[in-house]
């Protein structure tokens, strides 16, 4: 064996070991990446399009995330509470897109034996106050932003059904 062949084999084995050392992304990693990107874009849209009155804060504690099903239920519930009169149709569309993507992931990832989670806490309270359309809509938008923040800080929620 001459030096050129030896050098080629050593280089080739180095390239081969470098390409096989990086694991391919799993479905969970891909879904987390896409959801993260969608959630971050939605937070930016909420920050630029929604101006809550100065000093307004969310009094009650945040909704508790308990896996993928609860994220889907909360996004759906809050999206239903957002009035079309606020001219936030793109925000509602983005929420629906994110929810739809998560529903598709859930179909392929989770068994459907688990019942749809019941809503409680802030979402349930807002649903009982639908008569105050603008106030409920503004709080729902703020809750979506809060929910997305929680999700972005704990993407492992997507792996729990």
Spatial CB neighbours of 109, under 8 Å, sequence gap ≥ 6:
27, 68, 161
At 8-28, the pLDDT tens digits run: 445 555 555 554 444 445 777
Rounded average pLDDT over 85-92: 89
Quick check: pTM over 0.85? no
At 64-79, the pLDDT tens digits run: 888 888 999 999 999 9
């Amino acid at each position: 064996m001459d030096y050129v062949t030896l050098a080629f084999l050593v280089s080739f084995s180095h390239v081969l070991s470098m390409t096989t050392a990086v694991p391919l992304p799993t479905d969970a990693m891909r879904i987390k990446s896409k959801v993260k990107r969608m959630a971050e874009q939605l937070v930016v849209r909420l920050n630029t399009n929604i101006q809550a009155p100065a000093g307004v804060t969310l009094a009650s504690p945040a909704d508790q995330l308990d896996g993928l099903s609860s994220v889907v239920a909360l996004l759906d519930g809050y999206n239903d509470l957002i009035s079309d009169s606020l001219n936030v149709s793109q925000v509602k569309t983005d929420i629906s897109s994110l929810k739809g993507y998560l529903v598709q992931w859930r179909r392929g990832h989770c068994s459907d034996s688990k019942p749809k989670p019941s809503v409680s806490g802030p979402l349930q309270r807002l649903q009982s106050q639908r008569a105050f359309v603008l106030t409920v809509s503004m709080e729902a938008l703020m809750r979506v932003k809060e929910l997305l923040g929680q999700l972005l800080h704990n993407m492992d929620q997507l792996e729990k059904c």
